[in-house]
């Protein structure tokens, strides 16, 4: 059965921009008769994210959002990610990477390579050099990408084509990397509609390509504009009253603010009735902190 989802990272409280993305994901899913699932992306936090997670879920409930089934946590799914990585490795699609961040930053790249992409240093190390480097800290595992680009369908932005890099699949500390986890989780959870902030547009070709390599169905995406402060920078905690609790303390209703940002008004059932994905504002939402 088809499903949409919201997938927060429990790194702190959700701000009004994150809450708006959650409401949009819920509206897209419920408005198309889909299940709506929650996944906690706690690869970085593990159980130390538990308190932030509890507050995030409470904020979502207080907005009136509901979800189906149990909340899935990435920190519980290491075996599943390991199995996906093993499959790619058996197919010859991975290699160990011994580079530090600094080495990657300072390496020279081919003239056409996208900025920040992996320069390929460890891709074709000869076995002796690989053995020599293997004596240091444990390597990351990277995808041996065989395509330069991949594309995915986005309901808001149209066809999303972009570069595919030699993505990290497992970090040096043994944790699955975000792109692999997302591709595997979305498919395992039956998610065929991914609504998320447009800061993740650049991750999409790589994630969709990983799904393809693992024979997983590609979801349809809808990347929605982020909330920004009056300077046009991505909204952040330091901007002041931005969490649901902050706003309620000032007598403001977070859902009403979100609805107004979409040109709508009323409670969630009313928003569901009136929401038209085609009318979604394409510009960032400028949030004036009260
Ligand atoms: N966990 C990511 C975030 O909080 C979202 C990832 C996604 O929606 O695919 O930014």
Residue 52 alpha carbon to ligand 1 centre in Å = 15
Mean pLDDT (the chain, rounded): 95
What pLDDT, on a 0 to 100 scale, did the predictor assign at position 200?
96
Estimate the crossing angle of helix 16-31 against helix 254-261, to 10 degrees: 70
Q: How confident is the model at residue 113 (pLDDT cuts 50, 70, 90)?
A: confident
Number of domains present in the structure of the chain: 2
- Final residue of a domain: which of 127, 148, 170? 170
Taking 80 as the threshold, does the pLDDT of residue 206 lie above it?
Answer: yes
38: CATH:
3.40.50.620
- In the numeric block, the tokens 């569901």 are attached to 272
What are the pLDDT digits (tens) for 14-43? 999 999 999 999 999 999 999 999 999 999
- List all residues whose CB is within 6 A of at least one atom of ligand 1: 7-9, 41, 182, 196, 200
130: CATH:
3.90.800.10
Taking 90 as the threshold, does the pLDDT of residue 115 lie above it?
Answer: no
Query: Does residue 185 sit within a domain?
Result: no
Q: Which of 3, 8, 221 to mutate to test the pocket of ligand 1 (most atoms within 8 A of CB)?
A: 8
What pLDDT, on a 0 to 100 scale, did the predictor assign at position 46?
82
What pLDDT, on a 0 to 100 scale, did the predictor assign at position 103?
87
What are the pLDDT digits (tens) for 150-161? 999 999 999 999
Structural domain of residue 17, as residue ranges? 3-70+225-286
Same domain as 87, residue 52: no
In the sheet with 35-40, reading across from the earlier edge strand, the strands are 72-73, 35-40, 3-6, 191-197, 220-224, 149-154, 158-163
Which atom of ligand 1 is nearest to 41's Cα?
A: 1
Lowest mean pLDDT among 1-15, 122-136, 193-207: 122-136
- Tokens (6 digits) for 81: 């990610």
Query: Does residue 128 sit within a domain?
Result: yes
Give, as one character, the DSSP assignment of residue 15.
Answer: B
Which atom of ligand 1 is nearest to 11's Cα?
A: 4
Same domain as 101, residue 66: no
């Amino acid at each position: 059965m088809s499903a949409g989802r919201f997938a927060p990272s429990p790194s702190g409280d959700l701000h009004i921009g994150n809450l708006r993305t959650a409401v949009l994901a819920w509206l897209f899913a419920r408005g198309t008769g889909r299940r709506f699932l929650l996944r906690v992306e706690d690869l970085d936090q593990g159980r130390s994210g538990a308190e932030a997670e509890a507050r995030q879920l409470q904020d979502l409930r207080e907005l009136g959002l509901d979800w189906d089934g149990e909340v899935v946590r990435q920190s519980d799914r290491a075996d599943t990610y390991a199995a996906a990585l093993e499959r790619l490795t058996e197919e010859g699609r991975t290699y160990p990477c011994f580079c530090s961040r600094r080495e990657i930053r300072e390496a020279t790249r081919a003239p056409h390579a996208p900025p920040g992409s992996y320069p390929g240093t460890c891709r074709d190390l000869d076995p002796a050099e690989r053995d020599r480097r293997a004596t240091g800290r444990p390597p990351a595992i990277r995808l041996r990408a065989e395509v330069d680009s991949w594309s995915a369908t986005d309901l808001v932005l149209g066809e999303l084509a972009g570069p595919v890099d030699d993505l990290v699949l497992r970090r040096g500390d043994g944790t699955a990397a975000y792109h692999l986890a997302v591709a595997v989780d979305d498919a395992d959870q039956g998610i065929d509609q991914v609504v998320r902030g447009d800061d993740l547009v650049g991750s999409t070709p790589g994630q969709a390509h990983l799904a393809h390599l693992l024979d997983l169905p590609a979801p349809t995406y809808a990347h929605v504009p982020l909330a920004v402060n009056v300077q046009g920078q991505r909204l952040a905690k330091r901007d002041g009253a931005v969490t649901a609790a902050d706003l309620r303390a000032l007598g403001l209703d977070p859902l009403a603010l979100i609805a107004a940002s979409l040109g709508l008004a009323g409670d969630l059932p009313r928003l569901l009735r009136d929401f038209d994905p085609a009318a979604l504002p394409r510009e960032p939402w400028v949030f004036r902190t009260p």
